[in-house]
Amino acid sequence: SIVIVIALGVMMCKMLEVTGAAKKMAVSILKIVGVERTEVVLAMAGWLVSIPVFCDSGFVILSELAKKIDS
Instruction: Give 4-30 pLDDT, tens digit per residue.
Output: 877 787 787 778 778 888 778 778 888
- The per-residue pLDDT for 3 is 80
d(CA 30, CA 25): 8
- The mean per-residue pLDDT over the stretch 18-47 comes to 81
Q: How many CB atoms lie within 10 A of CB 59?
A: 15
Q: How many CA atoms lie within 13 A of 38 on its CB side?
A: 10
Residues 6+ apart with CB under 8 A from 26: 41, 42, 45, 65, 69
Q: What global pTM score does this model have?
A: 0.60
Tell me, what's the pLDDT at 53? 62
Range scoring the smallest mean pLDDT among 22-26, 29-33, 48-52: 48-52
